[in-house]
């Protein structure tokens, strides 16, 4: 007879109570549920419960062809849909050893950076709203609209574009593309000054974000916090620098690093990255070479049997695509290493012994996108 | 009877006399009470509806939006339509909530602001009760509202509401001090608590200018702490929609929610009126001593317009705060009060007392 083992049950402290933040909560930005143990207003413990928007994208990929998979990746991190597409295309091109035309690389890089800017704009908007500055939300959305208009003309879609395809892009850029991007850059350089005025220099904002959610470099590395959140902890983790793809090895830009390791430094990294992205676009936009907008591909794409991995820098961190192929037109197994999922893991560590208001600020500064967590 | 838009005294005394000549004094008093109650109810509703509309327009203006523009010209009937919608909404009762307290709470909040309204002088002679302790009465009555908020949070059987109520309790009790002390600074200058006398004393210059620097400091402190006391942004921690969904009124629906909503705007109107009356001269026109011509021109503008204009200015300032600043955290909020505003206020009163003793004010 088996002996009954009395497992030590962790009793909640006296006066500790739980609240469910989410699945419907304004500051989780989607259907994420955080089970928060509180003592008064102080967060003692936090357990994220994922899966409310799980769609089984990785499993669905196993029965889809590679061009079809691209349309699914849009739905993961919907704010950097173009970068998600790009990752899959790069992987397919790497596996088939296809050289894509230079024009495609230019277009993809510009689109990636536009994606990054609009993602950071929306993050800025919602971060401001998390901290109670409702006006920020409208400022961010207003300027993001210009990028969506540019996309609408070229890709035919404002949000989930599926513009990339293996070997190139779906169609050539619209004749107005360059002109409109120039207008956007000119306008946004003025508007971003407003962003700095309304939030960055504000006393209340600095109080709310400085020293809140301290993430040391060691912790950032051990938790695998990539993207602007990792670079806010002085961890140089920009895939665009470490493993350049497309045009990133040929353009000049700085990897933004901040050393304060708090929410404010994560905020400043993203603000600076918008400038850097504009800088990259400026270097490329006037020099798009003539040529084909896609390489010639076979009608049915079959990857040679083997394992493939491709990393790209999405707007919120390192996006990894891993494919095991058995030589068929569909992958045998597909796995996405999504930045939001890994970044979520540090939320408990950061928000312990902080207040509820700080938890909201920290969650905002990590820039989580919930469909990216659940896939 | 002469109806004079610049002085309502003869009008109100005429009503009083004619009522007394028609019926017994007790009955006349009761009739007067009823009339004043009905007038205030109407005033309350109209001002509340207008302020909601104004806030939506101001906030739209700050956020590059148009704001309500569909119902009526420039959307002025939007709030009325909203109000009718809220009236027809179902009142949701929460399981295991304390029914009595849950139902009473919105009324306490609304009654507190309603009672305070009665001591405000709207124009010369247009004054429901002219207490000799007017300011004390307003402070005392308006702080009753926190009881309603605490009850609402407690009886809702919702942890978010409870957190909101706890925050609100800490906040309002703390900031009550600053409101009181900043008004006390002006009482030191004026030497009276009666609203009508305070307004009369400002006929040759508003207290904001008369009292030099201490009065100005008191005005700024009063603006900050009264914004906090009305639970408005950047001090809207009790609601804090990004943290607590809606704080203490999360579980309220329909007209009860509307009561909280209306009370918030009326409180804003109330503190703006007090700021206008105590610091900016109430219904008294803007006068510069010695400039006789200028003063006569200013006198042509009716007192009621002066009062509304000043109040609207203060309300606009408070809306500006709300739509510009992010929200504070609870500990920062209390730090601001106990470590900064309160000491500043105490020193400020001493400064003002010294100023009054030395007759250095105008």
In percent, how much of chain B has pLDDT > 70?
98
**Shortest Cα–Cα distance, A128 to chain B (Å):** 7
Is pLDDT of B4 > 80? no
Q: In this structure, is residue A272 part of a structural domain?
A: yes
pLDDT tens digits for A109-129?
999 999 999 999 999 998 888
Task: Give the pLDDT score at A11.
Answer: 56
Select the more confidently predicted residue: A4 or B269.
B269
CA atoms within 13 A on the CB side of B154: 13
* Local confidence band at A322 (pLDDT 50, 70, 90 cut-offs): very high
Of chain B, the end-to-end C-alpha distance in Å amounts to 38
- Do the Cβ atoms of A204 and B233 come within 8 Å? no
- Do the Cβ atoms of B325 and A132 come within 8 Å? yes
- Best of B227, B243, B321 to substitute, by most chain A Cβ atoms within 10 angstroms, is B243
Lowest mean pLDDT among A140-154, A204-218, B238-252: B238-252
Partner A, chain B 281-340, Cβ-Cβ below 8 Å: 323-332
Contact A251, A280 (CB under 8 A): yes
From chain A, pick out residues whose CB is under 8 angstroms from the CB of B328.
204, 207-208
In the block, residue with structure tokens 């070997």: A167
What backbone phi and psi angles, to 5 degrees, belong to A107? -60, -45
User: Is the previous residue joined to B234 through a cis bond, with omega within 30 degrees of 0?
Assistant: yes
Stretch A74-89: mean pLDDT, rounded? 88
From chain A, pick out residues whose CB is under 8 angstroms from the CB of B167.
41
- Do the Cβ atoms of B64 and A25 come within 8 Å? no
Output the domain CATH number for residue A108.
1.10.645.10
pLDDT tens digits for A356-373?
888 888 988 888 888 888
Question: Which of these, A97, A320, A108, A88, lies nearest to A226 by C-alpha position?
Answer: A320
Q: In this structure, is residue A97 part of a structural domain?
A: yes
Question: Which of these, B200, B198, B107, lies nearest to B151 by C-alpha position?
Answer: B107
DSSP strand E in A16-105: where? Answer: 16-21, 33-39, 42-49
CA atoms within 13 A on the CB side of B137: 16
Select the more confidently predicted residue: B203 or A9.
B203
In percent, how much of chain A has pLDDT > 70?
96
* Local confidence band at B296 (pLDDT 50, 70, 90 cut-offs): confident
B55 touches chain A (CB under 8 A): no
Annotated domain spans of chain B: 83-357
Task: Give the pLDDT score at B200.
Answer: 79
Give the span between the Cα atoms of B47 and B42, in whole angstroms.
Answer: 8
Nearest to A128 among B233, B326, B329 (CB): B326
From chain A, pick out residues whose CB is under 8 angstroms from the CB of B166.
40-41
Give the span between the Cα atoms of A106 and B161, in whole angstroms.
Answer: 53
Give the span between the Cα atoms of A118 and A123, in whole angstroms.
Answer: 8
What is the value of pTM for the model shown? 0.85
Using DSSP bridges, classify how beta strands A317-325 and A16-21 pair: parallel, antiparallel or unpaired.
Answer: unpaired
Nearest to B242 among A130, A198, A205 (CB): A130
Q: In this structure, is residue A257 part of a structural domain?
A: yes
From chain B, pick out residues whose CB is under 8 angstroms from the CB of A199.
326
pLDDT tens digits for B104-143?
888 888 888 888 888 888 877 777 778 788 888 888 888 8
Is pLDDT of A8 > 60? no
- Best of A24, A132, A146, A360 to substitute, by most chain B Cβ atoms within 10 angstroms, is A132
Token duo for residue A174: 């619209």
Contact A211, A267 (CB under 8 A): no
- Give every CB contact of residue B100 below 8 A, 6+ residues apart in sequence: B155
Q: In this structure, is residue A346 part of a structural domain?
A: yes
Stretch A248-266: mean pLDDT, rounded? 88
**Shortest Cα–Cα distance, B323 to chain A (Å):** 6
Task: Give the pLDDT score at B159.
Answer: 84
**Shortest Cα–Cα distance, A355 to chain B (Å):** 8
- Do the Cβ atoms of B236 and A132 come within 8 Å? yes
Task: Give the pLDDT score at A183.
Answer: 92
pLDDT tens digits for B259-292?
888 888 888 888 898 888 888 877 777 777 677 7
**Shortest Cα–Cα distance, A372 to chain B (Å):** 21
Lowest mean pLDDT among A248-252, B94-98, B185-189, B248-252: B94-98
Query: Mean pLDDT over all residues of chain A?
Result: 86
Q: In this structure, is residue A195 part of a structural domain?
A: yes
Using DSSP bridges, classify how beta strands A33-39 and A168-169 pair: parallel, antiparallel or unpaired.
Answer: unpaired
Domain of residue A284 covers 55-374
In percent, how much of chain A has pLDDT > 90?
8
pLDDT tens digits for B20-30?
888 888 888 88
Q: In this structure, is residue A348 part of a structural domain?
A: yes
Give the span between the Cα atoms of A325 and A333, in whole angstroms.
Answer: 7
From chain B, pick out residues whose CB is under 8 angstroms from the CB of A357.
237, 240, 243, 327, 329-330
Query: Structural domain tally of chain A?
Result: 1
Is pLDDT of B300 > 80? no
Give the span between the Cα atoms of B172 and A325, in whole angstroms.
Answer: 64
Q: How many helices (H) and strands (E) does chain A have?
A: 15, 8
From chain B, pick out residues whose CB is under 8 angstroms from the CB of A19.
159-160
Using DSSP bridges, classify how beta strands A42-49 and A164-165 pair: parallel, antiparallel or unpaired.
Answer: unpaired
- Do the Cβ atoms of A27 and B242 come within 8 Å? yes
Nearest to B242 among A41, A142, A360 (CB): A360
Partner A, chain B 245-284, Cβ-Cβ below 8 Å: 245
What backbone phi and psi angles, to 5 degrees, belong to B123? -160, 180
Helix (H) / strand (E) containing A164:
strand A164-165
Interface of A with B (CB under 8 A): 17, 19, 25-27, 40-41, 128-135, 137-139, 142, 198-199, 202, 204-205, 207-208, 355-358, 360
**Shortest Cα–Cα distance, A178 to chain B (Å):** 27
* Local confidence band at B234 (pLDDT 50, 70, 90 cut-offs): confident
Partner A, chain B 188-247, Cβ-Cβ below 8 Å: 233-234, 236-237, 240-245
How many CB atoms are closer than 10 A to CB B50? 15
Nearest to B163 among A41, A134, A202 (CB): A41
């Amino acid at each position: 007879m088996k002996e009954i083992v009395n497992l030590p049950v962790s009793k909640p402290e006296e006066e500790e109570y739980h609240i469910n933040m989410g699945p419907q909560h304004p500051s989780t930005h989607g259907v994420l549920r955080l089970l928060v143990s509180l003592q008064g207003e102080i967060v003692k413990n936090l357990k994220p419960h994922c899966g409310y928007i799980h769609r089984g994208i990785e499993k669905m990929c196993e029965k889809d062809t590679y061009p079809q998979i691209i349309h699914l990746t849009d739905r993961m991190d919907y704010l950097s849909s173009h970068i998600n597409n790009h990752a899959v295309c790069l992987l397919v091109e790497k596996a088939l050893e296809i050289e894509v035309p230079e024009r495609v690389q230019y277009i993809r890089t510009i689109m990636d950076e536009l994606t990054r800017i609009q993602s950071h704009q929306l993050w800025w908007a919602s971060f401001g709203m998390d901290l109670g500055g409702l006006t920020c939300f409208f400022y961010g959305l207003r300027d993001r609209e210009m990028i969506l208009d540019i996309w609408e003309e070229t890709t035919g879609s404002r949000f989930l574009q599926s513009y990339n395809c293996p070997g190139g892009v779906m169609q050539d850029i619209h004749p107005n593309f360059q002109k409109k991007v120039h207008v956007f850059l000119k306008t946004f350089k003025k508007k971003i000054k407003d962003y700095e005025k309304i939030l960055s220099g504000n006393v209340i904002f600095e109080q709310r974000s400085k020293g809140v959610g301290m993430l040391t470099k060691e912790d950032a590395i051990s938790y695998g916090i990539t993207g602007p959140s990792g670079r806010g902890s002085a961890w140089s983790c920009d895939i665009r620098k470490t493993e350049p793809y497309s045009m990133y090895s040929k353009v000049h830009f700085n990897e933004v690093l901040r050393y304060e390791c708090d929410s404010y430094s994560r905020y400043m990294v993203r603000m600076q990255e918008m400038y850097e992205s504009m800088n990259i676009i400026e270097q490329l936009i006037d020099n798009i070479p003539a040529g084909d907008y896609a390489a010639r591909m076979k009608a049915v794409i079959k990857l040679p049997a083997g394992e493939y991995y491709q990393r790209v820098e999405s707007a919120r961190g390192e996006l990894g695509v891993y494919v095991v192929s058995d030589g068929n037109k569909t992958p045998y197994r597909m796995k996405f290493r999504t930045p939001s999922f890994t970044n979520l893991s540090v939320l408990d560590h950061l928000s312990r012994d902080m207040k509820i208001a700080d938890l909201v600020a920290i969650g905002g500064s990590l820039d989580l996108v919930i469909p990216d967590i659940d896939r | 009877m002469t109806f004079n838009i610049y002085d309502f005294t003869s009008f109100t005394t005429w009503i009083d006399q004619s009522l007394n000549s028609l019926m017994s004094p007790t009955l006349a008093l009761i009739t007067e009470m009823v009339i004043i109650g009905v007038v205030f109810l109407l005033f309350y509703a109209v001002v509340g509806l207008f302020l909601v509309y104004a806030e939506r327009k101001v906030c739209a203006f700050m956020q590059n939006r148009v704001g309500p523009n569909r119902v009526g010209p420039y959307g002025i009937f939007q709030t009325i339509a909203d109000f009718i919608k809220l009236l027809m909404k179902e009142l949701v009762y929460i399981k295991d909530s304390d029914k009595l307290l849950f139902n009473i709470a919105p009324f306490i909040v609304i009654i507190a602001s309603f009672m305070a309204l009665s001591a405000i002088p709207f124009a010369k002679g247009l004054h429901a009760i002219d207490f000799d302790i007017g300011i004390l009465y307003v402070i005392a009555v308006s702080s009753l509202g926190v009881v309603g908020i605490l009850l609402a949070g407690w009886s809702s059987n919702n942890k978010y509401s409870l957190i909101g109520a706890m925050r609100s309790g800490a906040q309002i009790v703390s900031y009550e001090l600053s409101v009181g002390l900043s008004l006390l600074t002006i009482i030191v200058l004026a030497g009276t608590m009666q609203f009508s006398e305070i307004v009369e004393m400002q006929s040759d210059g508003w207290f904001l200018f008369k009292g030099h620097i201490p009065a100005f400091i008191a005005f700024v402190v009063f603006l900050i702490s009264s914004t906090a006391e009305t639970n408005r942004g950047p001090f809207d921690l009790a609601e804090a929609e990004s943290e607590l969904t809606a704080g203490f009124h999360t579980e309220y629906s329909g007209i009860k929610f509307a009561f909280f909503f209306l009370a918030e705007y009326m409180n804003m109107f109330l503190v703006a009126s007090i700021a206008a009356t105590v610091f900016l001269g109430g219904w008294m026109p803007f006068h510069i001593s010695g400039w006789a011509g200028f003063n006569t021109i200013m006198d042509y503008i009716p007192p009621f317009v002066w009062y509304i204009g000043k109040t609207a200015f203060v309300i606009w300032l408070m809306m500006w705060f709300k739509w510009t600043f992010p929200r504070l955290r609870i500990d920062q909020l209390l730090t601001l009060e106990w470590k900064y505003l309160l000491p500043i206020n105490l020193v400020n009163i001493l400064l003002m007392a010294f100023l009054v003793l030395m007759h250095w004010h105008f």
